[in-house]
Chains A and B, each alone.
Chain A
Amino acid sequence: MRLQDLKKADASWKDKAVHARYRVESIGSLARLLRHGPGKMAEIFRWDWLRTLAGASNLLDMAVYTRTGRYREASAYALAEVIGGIGDLIDSICAAPDRVVIHEDLVPSEIFRGMGLAPFMAEVIGIAVPLVKADWAEKYIDIAENEGTPPDTCSLPKCTMGVALDGQFPKSAAIVTSNMPCDGGMASYTILERELKSPCFRLDIPYNFYNDRAIDYFVSELKRMIAWLEEHTPGRMDWDRLKEVCIERNKAMEHELEIWELIRQKPAPMAGEAIWLAQLIHMVATPGSPRATRTMKNILKRTKKIMENGGGALPEERYRAVLWNPPTLVFPELFVWAEQQYGVALLADMLTYHRHPFIDVSSPDSMLRSLAQIIVEGPMARHTRGPAENFFDDLFYLYEYFSLDMIWMAGHIGCKNTMALNGMFRERCREREIPLFIMNYDLSDTRVVSPVDMKKQAEAFMETVMKAEPLL
């Protein structure tokens, strides 16, 4: 299922202009890489993933194809900033090739910025590129499997390993990873370390982290990491610089919390990619960047505008939903389609929901402590590592907080952690009379479940469980 299956919106000339404006901006944010000169371009455009990402402006079609007015504008803006954020990442590794630190997604990258390093989240390739081209990761999944990785391992680390095995990572001064978010993700760094031939540091994070002892342990790990990075890279910790990054992150978080508060209203004045995709890139991959703050601020501004005009983001909000588990990377149109077909507003997702919002910038220790808490109480870590209650409690809290009608669970077959919770999850939702849709799919591999089949599953749920009448 792709965009062609959606009904195109009756766009006004203004809507069309919005589309054109942000498409140009998106192209511009990738085109600025040209400033690094032809030599660098030849080097980085060897990477298939970057060539595919060059077409990322097409992502805008997804958001604007079916939408009109302010919601169309907000979605287009959010996506343009997402593309810009990815552009920033690539730009920074081009600008400081000797300072590149490749890191895993559950590592506080604010610290690398505080040390004057150029962080590059390894998994961002496997997250971002399938959004642009659904079947892109499959070649790299196959490469990893041909090197002996089991087919049942999560396809995101498999894709990341495949990209490394194919020599498509930037050169790096160091690698930093951790024991999170899952065994497959953790183990994948054995391959990355071997292939990238960079020294590797591994952060150890306790299983159950709700006490000072666990946070103390993790903070001591962060200190060990800083000392190690000072030894192995040109980076030096500048606590003032880290403070600036943390303050910037706090500002973005403040805006985000306000957005959450506003979308509690019925109908919700914002939904979809402006919520989940913006958060995924700006708060997970590039936290503490000025772009992240700007994006959250502007999404908030647009949310308020929609509210002022009355009504919600969707022309007709009939259902409110949360997407739990990693989002459907190979089928990002899922919620655009659900909006159009059934009036489903997606208001939150697992990766968006942070339990520990702010960083205490009063001292170096307080910053490390807050960063440690953000990681351990953050998405994935809290849900895949700690006790099962973490997973359920957050979800049921969100269900109440946003007055949801149902829970959509992206049942990624490679996520053994959450697959092993689904039995309990079904029963607990039944007890609470919460409609639950567990969608079978694979995060990065359309050969396991195609987008068409994903859509069919959603249709079956909406029409049999929710008794929803299609809007179209």
Chain B
Amino acid sequence: MNQAVIPDFFRQILDQPVNNLVDQAQEQGKKAIAYTCSYVPQPLLSLDGVFPIRVRAPGVVGTPMADTYLSSVICSYTRSVLELALEWAFDSLDGWVFAASCDHLRRLYDNLDYLNKPAFNHMIDMPHRGGAAAEKWLTEEYKSLGAALAESFGVDASPQALSRSIKEHNAYLSVMREISKMRKQDNPPVTGAMFQTLLAASTSAPKDMVMDELKALLARLRESNEGKPYRARVLLAGSHCDDPGYIDVIEKTGGLVVAERTCTGSIPALAPIPENDAPYETLAGQALANISCPRMMESFQARVDEILEAVEEYRADGVVLQTMKFCDTWGVESGPMVQELRKAGVPILKLEREYTMSSEGQLQTRIQAFLESMGK
């Protein structure tokens, strides 16, 4: 038996809102830019001299201060981030970049700006649909972010520099895709929780500091020949879920998460970025076409189709659709989405969750019942 495990190196990255690798990179003179959400292109924040940190809020216990400002009816991801920001957890970071993706993120931006104003705070004005005009608009938005980074941090934001950054990012994506592909196997050497740990860790630290460890892990995974036993293969769909612990509960109960169609998961985050002479345009086109959050108001059927394709590709027995409480876009869309997936004969379990893992027993019971309902 040769079962792979995820090195502590990756787990430790996830323990803190800002980890040691970020500190190290800053000591070397690089600037750390916090960002949320997926519409903020990582390659643009990876220009020489800066690096991106996808904002997470590990260890947050309650959000009393954030509730005072954001209220308790805003999604708990944004409240958790604001809570930690008010506890100065992100003060060592050099800037923030937001995308105007949803009501909650926009108000997080407003409140952060008011309560603990970052030296660099940028908002990307995201279109809600695809098409040529929207691509042109978003290209200009990304260029404007590039210009702001150049002005504030002295980085080279030229198309050539961005192309180099995309090439480096593609090298990272290629390693992650290799690992992800293994999840299609009958008995994958990597579980969903393991994969989410890698994904979250590598977006929470400077990429160049995790690449060697990722490559070493890939080699070990190739040699491993045994995965954990499971009762059913599950596709995780829905909103932001950066906590491997949530997936771990599903897997402890017998489900094996083989892919995540979430904004923090494997689909579509690992798609390679075309390398060409128009990198800003390419990033814009790809963001609008690939990252299909329900905020994209014309793409409901595309999202359904994407889940159905992933179910087939990863041979999932069923889908767990998890939505963050108070998220209106996922919340409203999940109703018809459940209907569509059922119509297509795909077993589906819809769950509502908070950002921080809670009610583990309840989740286990729901998953257990779901697996049994599938005859597993």
Query: A interface vs B, CB < 8 Å?
Result: 147-150, 152-154, 157, 161, 177, 179, 182-184, 186-191, 194, 202, 204, 206-208, 213-214, 217, 220-221, 224, 384, 387-388, 413-414, 416-417, 419-424
Contact = CB atoms under 8 A, between A and B. Distances in A.
Name, among A157, A188, A221, the residue most crowded by chain B CB atoms within 10 Å (CB to CB): A221
B104 A416 contact: yes
Interface of B: 68-71, 73-74, 100, 102-104, 106-108, 110-111, 113-114, 123, 125-129, 133-134, 137, 140, 294-295, 297-298, 300, 323, 325-329, 331-336, 338, 350, 352
Contacts of A214: 125
Contacts of A424: 69, 110-111, 114
A420 B69 CA distance: 6
Contacts of A413: 73
6 closest A-B pairs (Cβ-Cβ)?
Answer: A148-B335, A423-B69, A420-B107, A187-B332, A388-B110, A150-B331
Given A182-B103, A194-B336, A202-B128, A153 B73 contact: no
A420 B71 contact: yes
17 contacts: A148-B338, A148-B350, A150-B323, A150-B325, A152-B331, A177-B297, A186-B329, A188-B332, A191-B336, A204-B127, A206-B127, A224-B133, A420-B74, A420-B103, A420-B110, A421-B107, A423-B111
B103 A416 contact: yes
Given A182-B103, A387-B123, 12 more contacts: A149-B335, A150-B326, A186-B297, A190-B297, A190-B300, A220-B133, A387-B110, A414-B73, A416-B74, A416-B107, A423-B71, A424-B111
B126 A213 contact: no
Contacts of A153: 328, 331-332
Contacts of B298: 202
Contact of A419 (B71, B102, B350): B71
A152 B110 CA distance: 22
Contacts of B350: 148
A188 B328 CA distance: 9
Contacts of B297: 177, 179, 186-187, 189-190, 202, 204
Contacts of A419: 70-71, 73-74
A56 B157 CA distance: 62
Grouping DSSP codes into helix (H, G, I), strand (E, B) and loop, the A interface class, with mixed when no group exceeds half, is helix
Contacts of B69: 420, 422-424
Contacts of B128: 179, 186, 202, 204
A412 to B, nearest CB: 10
A150 B352 contact: yes
A183 B102 contact: yes
Contacts of B325: 150, 152
B134 A147 contact: no
B81 to A, nearest CB: 13
A149 B323 CA distance: 12
A172 B127 CA distance: 27
A426 B113 CA distance: 16
A188 B329 CA distance: 9
B334 A152 contact: no
Given A152-B325, A190-B332, A208 B73 contact: no
B110 A183 contact: no
A415 to B, nearest CB: 9
Contact of B326 (A152, A189, A191): A152
Given A388-B110, A424-B114, A217 B328 contact: no
B240 to A, nearest CB: 14
Contacts of A213: 140
A221 B111 CA distance: 31
Name, among B73, B128, B323, B350, the residue most crowded by chain A CB atoms within 10 Å (CB to CB): B128
A384 B71 contact: no
A126 to B, nearest CB: 15
